[in-house]
Amino acid sequence: MRTGTESRTEPLPQLSRFAGSSVHAAIANEIGLRIVRGDYPPGTVLPNEAKWSETFNVGRSAVREAIKMLMAKGLLSSRPKVGSRVEPRERWNLLDRDVLSWYAMSPDREKFLATVQEFRHIVEPEAAALAAARRTDEQMDEISRACHDMGTATTLRARTAADTRFHMAILRAAGNDLLVPLGVLIESGLESLFVYVTREVNDLRHAQQLHEEIERQIRLQKPDRARAAVTKLLANTDEIIVGAGRSAVAASE
C-alpha cells in the first residue's frame, strides 16, 4: 500500500475540462478514490486547497465544495489550522453510492465483494420470499423480463446489467419500503460482484437456471421455495468466489 507522502508526488489528472457543477464532483471522485484505496490512510492530513487547486488546475471554490462532499460521506474532517484529515474507516458512510464504487475499485476489492455477498445472504432470501407473497403482476413482469434479458445477453455488460435489474426488481417486489433505498445504495456493489462472478463462472447456463428457478417460484407465489432458490444461488456464488480466490493464490505461488 502506498503511503500518503508517496501519493502526493504522483501526477493527478487535470479536471478543468469538466464544466460547471461537475468540477467539484470530479475532484471529490479523484480524492475519494485515493482515500479508499489507501493512498491517504486514516489520520493523514491532505494537501491544502491551494495545492489541490494547482494539481487539478481548478479554482479553490471547486476544491472547497469537493472537500465538503467528502466530509458529508464521512471520509474527512476539517479543523482550523490543521486542514482536512482522513477519518477512521468505521466513520465512512459505506452505504453511499460513491464510496461503494470507490471500494469496488480498491486493492481490497475481493474483501469488499465478500462483504457484498454476505449482505446478500442476510437480505435476499427473505426478500424473495416476501416478493413471492406480495408481488404485483407489473412487478412480476419486471422480474421475468430481467431474467429473460440475462439469458439472451450477448455481452458481459448486458448480462451483469440484467442480473442487477433482476435482483433489484425482487427487492422492490418485496413490498418493504426500507429495502428499496437500501438496494439502490448497494446497487453499485452488486454490479461489481456480478461482473466478477460472471467472468469467473464456467457454466453460465447453470447460473441462468438458478435465476430462472427463483423467477418461477416468485411467479408461482411460493415463498418458502423462493427463499430456498435464492439460498441455492448464493451458495453457488460462494463457490465461485472461493474457487477464484484459490486460483489467484495458486497463480501467485
pLDDT of residue 3: 42
Q: What is the pLDDT of residue 194?
A: 78
Alpha helices, DSSP H, located in the chain: 4-7, 22-36, 49-56, 60-72, 97-104, 109-134, 137-152, 156-173, 179-200, 204-219, 223-252
pLDDT, residue 185, reads 65
Mean pLDDT computed over every residue of the chain = 85
- Rounded to an integer, the average pLDDT of 103-132 is 87
Residue-level pLDDT at 174: 97
pLDDT of residue 250: 47
Residue 16 in this model has a pLDDT that exceeds 80: no
Quote the pLDDT of residue 9: 38
Angle 160-162-101 (CA atoms, 0-180°, nearest 5)?
A: 50
114 contacts: CB under 8 Å, gap ≥ 6: 241
Residue 249 CB neighbours (<10 A): 9
Confidence of residue 43 (pLDDT cuts 50, 70, 90): very high
Can you give the pLDDT at residue 243?
A: 66
The whole-number pLDDT of residue 228 equals: 98
